[in-house]
Amino acid sequence: MATLADDTPSSESDLDLFGFGGAAMDFADLAMFFEFNSTDNDLGVQVFLDAEGWDIVQARDPGGKKILDIRAKKALGSLGITELRFESAEPSPGEVLALFSDGVYEFRGRTVEEAFTLGGLATLSTVLPDAPVFTNPSDGDGDVDPDNLVITWNAIGGLDGYEVIVENEDAEVALSAELGPDATSLTVPSEFMEGDSDYKAEILAIAMNGNKTITEIEFSTAD
């Protein structure tokens, strides 16, 4: 396998991994997608990377401009990072979509052991899934039966699936369920629910392109 050893610039700050031919290894997992909160009307970009220990990761957009340069130093650089998940700030959708175009984003990394080059491609789409619409409970409900809660929503076609999250805001605990694309309901176990408590529920519609759209509501349970 080719390594960077023979061609690494004398100054580590000058290192551009895109100047080294083909990558010797692929990222084990790589994803880049938008997450849109339809309730708060904000949008962010999220990235997930997984590979054997690395100390540098860079990325460039479809136009070839470098948009990411992460470097682990000293003890962390010697040990290496294996997984990294991050998200951008979340201003209005218009602001974010003006900065990111559809297309293929290229990622490069350098492993700590043997300094092998890592490579991977992520396709980003600006097409967002429709926002889920709750049919039960309603936002602001104040007398939900904690022993018989079934969360329901209108169907959305063409999805990869849903994620439903129910959070007890008083106890600071949450329940999360991943569901298939045909699901329109989730029965919440009564063991999770408590009377006279405040809750937040979220439904995430997950598109085939990886993008997610969230709808949130708040409700309270009866005594």
Burial environment of residue 74 by CB neighbours within 10 A (0 to 12, 13 to 18, 19 or more): exposed
Query: Rounded to a whole number, what is the distance in angstroms from the first to the last CA of the chain?
Result: 66
Task: Provide the pLDDT for residue 6.
Answer: 42
The pLDDT value recorded for residue 137 is 98
Return the ∠ at Cα 167 (arms to 165 and 173), rounded to 5°: 115
Q: pTM value?
A: 0.90
CA 123 to chain centre: 14
Query: Cα separation of 168 and 175, whole Å?
Result: 9
Determine the Cα–Cα distance for residues 216 and 204; give it in Å rounded to an integer.
Answer: 9
Distance (Å, whole) CA 100 – CA 186: 35
Instruction: Tally the residues of the chain.
Output: 223
pLDDT at residue 170, as a whole number: 84
Q: Which residues pair with 159 in a beta bridge?
A: 207
**For position 23, what pLDDT does the model report?**
81
Scanning 66-138, the segments in alpha helix (DSSP H) are 74-79, 93-97
pLDDT in the model for residue 20: 79
Q: Which pLDDT belongs to residue 173?
A: 96
Residues in the chain with pLDDT values less than 70: 1-13
Structure confidence by residue, pLDDT tens digits, 183-205: 999 999 999 999 999 999 999 99
Our CA angle for 88, 167, 159, nearest 5°, is 60
pLDDT value of position 9? 43
Per the CB < 8 A criterion, the answer to whether 108 and 23 are in contact is yes
Contacts of 64 (CB under 8 A, 6+ apart): none
Domains assigned to the chain? 12-124 (2.60.40), 134-220 (2.60.40.10)
Residue 11 confidence (pLDDT): 55
